[in-house]
Amino acid sequence: MLIKKPADIRPSEITSRDNYLNRRKFMQAAALAGGSLVAGDALTALVPDQKQAKLADIVPSQYSTDESPNSFMDITSYNNFYEFGMRKEDPKRNSQSLRTRPWSIEVSGNAEVTGTFALEDFVKPHTLEERIYRLRCVEAWSMVIPWVGIPLADIIKQFKPMSSAKYVVFETLLDKEQMPGQRSRSLRWPYVEGLTIAEATNPLPILAVGVYGEVLPNQNGAPLRLIVPWKYGFKSIKSIVRMHFSETRPGTSWEIAAPHEYGFYANVNPDVDHPRWSQARERRIGSDQGTGLQSLFSASRQETLMFNGYGEHVAHLYDGLDLRKNF
């Protein structure tokens, strides 16, 4: 297990999505799934377009934490998704009409295989995994979320990046009609994020298509979003429409907007404070303690772990870097 369950997590914080959608059924499904998904027309049944539709043939991951996940309500009602507004409740309120089919992803840059791919073709060669990851946000709050997705390394492998590809760059959909937050000047649109090729091909990052065994809700980044569990939440780009293999480091959205506050690497480092708050401790959001700021300030506090507790798997990626300067 990657992260030991902290002793100060209260029982009141341990909530379920119908007893985690019956965990035993998950395990049984995984045993039947084997190592691959069913390709072709059956894919639409595995990654359906219907809201809250169940995902099939999910394989539990060895990289999951043993911490108890937040409730489905926590995960889907307290979000950062700036394309739909800057407040935590805005994404759920403003994203419900987002059209997630048809959906395509453009792959470009320094790779042997490039082009525009329908979502179905982009993900169908791969296995869906359930990964229970802790998501840490710079605002000093965290959640534990049972994501369902595909290892990013597996996705990247199919496009055969060249040796000149040093970074992987992602872009969110740009559509001011569907995404009212993009009408503001809070950020430069479209939202852009990036990883080094070494980070992107580490076993931990995933491209998520679901949560709690169900298709990803719009407010959580449907139909496809990035999850990098050792980094701060602003790295978790949502509603991805482009993946670019670049020789040069990209300018990412929050790094451009506030370079003194948000660096490219964005690794969870409790020893480096954000200019406006400490990163040394965090609060676990819990729906039984209210919503919004009420939930944040009543949640239990715990020590923030270096690399969010995943140092065993990722610390080597930053050998030789000053993690105070390269933040």
* Residue 125 confidence (pLDDT): 86
What residue ranges of the chain have pLDDT lower than 70? 1-46, 287-299
Residues 6+ apart with CB under 8 A from 59: 30, 33, 35, 127, 128, 129, 130
Cα–Cα distance for residue pair 213/171, rounded to 1 Å: 25
Question: Which domains occur in the chain, in start order?
Answer: 11-318 (3.90.420.10)
* Residue 36 confidence (pLDDT): 34
Tokens representing residue 86 in the block:
């800057």
What are phi and psi for residue 310, nearest 5 degrees?
-105, 20
DSSP assignment of 245-279 equals EESSPPPPHHHHH-TTT--SS-B--TTS-BTTB--
Cα–Cα distance for residue pair 27/64, rounded to 1 Å: 14
pTM for the model: 0.86
Q: CA–CA distance from 54 to each of 123, 207, 223 (Å)? A: 17, 18, 14
Cα–Cα distance for residue pair 100/18, rounded to 1 Å: 26
Q: What is the CA radius of gyration of the chain?
A: 19
* Residue 34 confidence (pLDDT): 35
